[in-house]
Amino acid sequence: MRPLTRHFVVAAIAAFALAGTAQMSFAAATPWAEDTGGRMRVILTPPTDDGTIEAALQVEPDPGFITYWREPGESGIPPQITVTGTGDARLEAIGYPVPKRLKIANVTDMGYDGPVTFPLTLRVAPGPLPSLTVTAFVGLCKDICIPFQASFDIPARAEAFEETPVDKAILAVARTTLPERPSADFRVDEASLSADGLRLALTLPDPGAGDEITLANSLGYIVEAPAGRRENGQYLIDIPLSALPEDADPQKGDWLLLAKSGGRAMETPLVIAPAPP
């Protein structure tokens, strides 16, 4: 169950946040849009010949505030970004830097307690420069969650797409904060359900005491995997069904696994095999 107090506070504030959407015009990087709990802006590069625009959303929570990952947990607000404009403008992809486990009111959320940059890939039709509107909606949370929405208008002018060396560096660094994809030495070998719980078998680059395995479900909950054991070159984890929220069904919703090991992080969708009949 989602904590009712925070849930209702979010719902009550949302109407005011949406009504007060900020409109920003800019050249290269936008001015910062500010609200209670933090600020955000957009950086983008000129379109390539095929219409690809590399961009980023920068979010800077104020001290003591946090913002959220793609699967935030029971009470968070994941980033939501939309792109409209000329030339069939659209958001093609958003990257999510490796998050932290955050304890709030005895609930585990996944997010960021400092500045974070979400890499974006935009797509427009090849040809003349487009005019764009990038709208971002995030949650900034401390004692309560405050929805924060801002729209950034980019005119179809050359100076609006002239990124600086600093902008390029920010985008390059942001890409390095993303988790890896599964690889030969860092992957999930098995995810299966039994009458007792979930069994995970992983290949980790450096199994040890610092490993952190987190499962996120699209229905709104986070599962902190207990410590596992090494066996025949694999790292085995057994998660009892009692570790799941009440009434949670492991066969419902989309699962995502985030693994941290040996100073590296890997993220992958997780398909859980059903228990044998």
What average pLDDT does the chain have? 85
pLDDT tops 50 at residue 14: no
pLDDT tops 60 at residue 22: no
- CA–CA separation, 56 vs 67, rounded Å? 16
Mean pLDDT along residues 89-97: 96
**Of 103 and 132, more confident:** 132
Q: What percent of the chain has pLDDT over 70?
A: 90
pLDDT tops 60 at residue 84: yes
Mean pLDDT along residues 185-200: 91
Residues 141, 238, single domain; the answer is: no
Q: Into how many domains does the chain fold?
A: 2
Residues 134, 163, single domain; the answer is: yes
Name the burial class of residue 193, with classes exposed (0-12), middle (13-18) and buried (19+) by CB atoms within 10 angstroms of its CB.
middle
Residues 37, 143, single domain; the answer is: yes
Domain of residue 32, residue span: 4-176
**Of 175 and 17, more confident:** 175
Tokens of residue 188, six digits? 């999930």
Q: What is the pLDDT of residue 3?
A: 34
pLDDT tops 90 at residue 250: no
Direct distance between the N- and C-terminal alpha carbons of the chain, in angstroms, rounded to an integer = 30
Residues 85, 152, single domain; the answer is: yes
Residues 39, 150, single domain; the answer is: yes
pLDDT tops 70 at residue 91: yes
Look at residue 100 and tell me if it is in a domain.
yes
CATH number of the domain enclosing 237: 2.60.40.2440
CATH number of the domain enclosing 10: 2.60.40.1250
State pTM to two decimals. Answer: 0.85
In the structure, what pLDDT confidence band is assigned to residue 209 with cuts at 50, 70 and 90?
A: low
Boundary residue ending a domain (150, 176, 202): 176
DSSP assignment of 75-94 equals S----EEEEEETTT-EEEEE
Residues 13, 106, single domain; the answer is: yes
